[in-house]
Structure 1
Amino acid sequence: MATRPLGETEFEETTIERLKRLGYDYLHAQELFQRGERDSLHEVVLYGRLEAFLKKAYPTIPEHEIKRLAQVLATPDGVKLINRNMHFHQMLTKGLEFTYEVNDETYTPHVFPIDWEHPENNDFLVVNQLPIEGRMSRRPDIVIYINGLPLIVFELKNPNNEQATVYDAYTQIQNYTYDIS
């Protein structure tokens, strides 16, 4: 009995299964809305997950400051996309000094949005078919979240289509960048 060639949908499902075996949690994009983890098509950061990580990692920071810290991490400075990406990369890899006050005392802990030393402390999530609104509506195949931050986008092409190329996927990612940034 001949097996049917792997199509793009099956390739997506196989990719998700591989990530689940590596320890990633999985949700279809619709489930994010149903669970209340996402309430806007314009927002891609999962603030509940980011705040939960920050509370656990930095328990001495007051809750209202955790919300402000999450905002700082989710909205890096920069007029142009390249500048925002560079600033975000710096926060991811080197952390940042976060200043807050409690009872007229100032605190400035060095915080990281990812626990690089203890990866098991992070929240890994794979989401497929995530609708995003910007200049235009887009729906990347797979988005990888770490602690509620969308860090990786997979644009899959049918592995059996000889016309599909890496360049096609790259071009599609570039279009997403323009259309939703």
Structure 2
Amino acid sequence: MASITENQIEEIALGYLQSLGYEYLNGVNISPDGEHPERQYNEVVLVTRLRDAIDKLNPKISQDAKEDALKKVLRTESPNALINNENFHRYLTDGVDVEMRTESGIRGEKIYIVDFESPENNEFLAVNQFTVSMAAEPQVKYGK
């Protein structure tokens, strides 16, 4: 019986995701020393893409509130990974609560990072060979 390799499984999965409309990127190309760097090795979130999604999905929200939402999504609030995963899941499904200044005062708003009602408004990305090294603290830049 012939065995299937990890590489073959990866290629099958990537092909399937691409057939569903996902854009494919090789993780080496978006690494800090790749052809099109988008991240540091200690970052697991593509911050520019997340910021772009927040901007696109929340056009009527102030830039300050959007930056607050970005910081909340990227922040780990607990040393417990389960708690952090639950918080992130809540941000994905329910949106991120922020406060926004208006002419009539401060009010609560929701910032969405995924559009479940119109999935075509989301960016779907499949990345393979995504190397993560947690040797150094993240150097996330929140401002543009």
- Shorter-chain TM-score range: 0.7 to 0.9
**Residues 100 and 107, structure 2, Cα contact 8 Å, conserved in 1:** yes
CA distance in 2, matches of 1:86, 1:107: 25
* Bigger mean CA deviation after superposition, 105-114 or 15-24: 105-114
Q: Which residue pairs with 1:173 in the alignment?
A: none
Which 5+ residue runs of structure 1 have no aligned equivalent?
A: 136-181
CA distance in 2, matches of 1:20, 1:47: 22
Q: Which residue pairs with 1:117 in the alignment?
A: 117
Q: Which residue pairs with 2:99 in the alignment?
A: 99
Structure possessing the higher relative contact order (Cα contacts under 8 Å, 6 or more residues apart): 2
| 1:91 Cα deviation after fit | 1.7
Helix, strand or coil: the match of 1:99?
A: strand
Amino acid at match of 1:81: A
Normalization by structure 1: what TM-score? Answer: 0.64
Bigger radius of gyration among the two: 1
CA distance in 2, matches of 1:76, 1:61: 24
| 1:101 Cα deviation after fit | 2.5
Question: Which string of whole-angstrom CA distances, capped at 9 and with x for unpartnered residues, describes residues 94-148 of structure 1?
Answer: 223211325684242222221111111111101001110126xxxxxxxxxxxxx
User: CA, structure 1 residues 113+76, in 2 after alignment: closer, same or farther (shift >3 Å)?
Assistant: farther
Q: Which residue pairs with 2:138 in the alignment?
A: none
**Residues 28 and 129, structure 1, Cα contact 8 Å, conserved in 2:** yes
Q: Which residue pairs with 1:35 in the alignment?
A: 36
Amino acid at match of 1:69: A
Helix, strand or coil: the match of 1:97?
A: strand
Which residue of the other structure, out of 7, 10, 27, is the alignment partner of 1:9?
A: 7
Normalization by structure 2: what TM-score? Answer: 0.79
CA distance in 1, matches of 2:94, 2:71: 18
CA distance in 1, matches of 2:43, 2:105: 34
User: CA, structure 1 residues 60+28, in 2 after alignment: closer, same or farther (shift >3 Å)?
Assistant: same
Which 5+ residue runs of structure 2 have no aligned equivalent?
A: 136-144
User: CA, structure 1 residues 24+113, in 2 after alignment: closer, same or farther (shift >3 Å)?
Assistant: same
Q: Where does 1:86-165 land on structure 2 (aligned, <5 Å)? A: 86-101=86-101, 105-134=105-134
CA distance in 2, matches of 1:119, 1:26: 18
Q: Which residue pairs with 1:168 in the alignment?
A: none
CA distance in 1, matches of 2:44, 2:78: 18
Percent of aligned pairs sharing the same letter:
28
**Residues 76 and 85, structure 1, Cα contact 8 Å, conserved in 2:** no
CA distance in 1, matches of 2:61, 2:76: 20
CA distance in 2, matches of 1:51, 1:96: 13
Helix, strand or coil: the match of 2:106?
A: strand
User: CA, structure 1 residues 64+97, in 2 after alignment: closer, same or farther (shift >3 Å)?
Assistant: closer
RMSD: 2.3
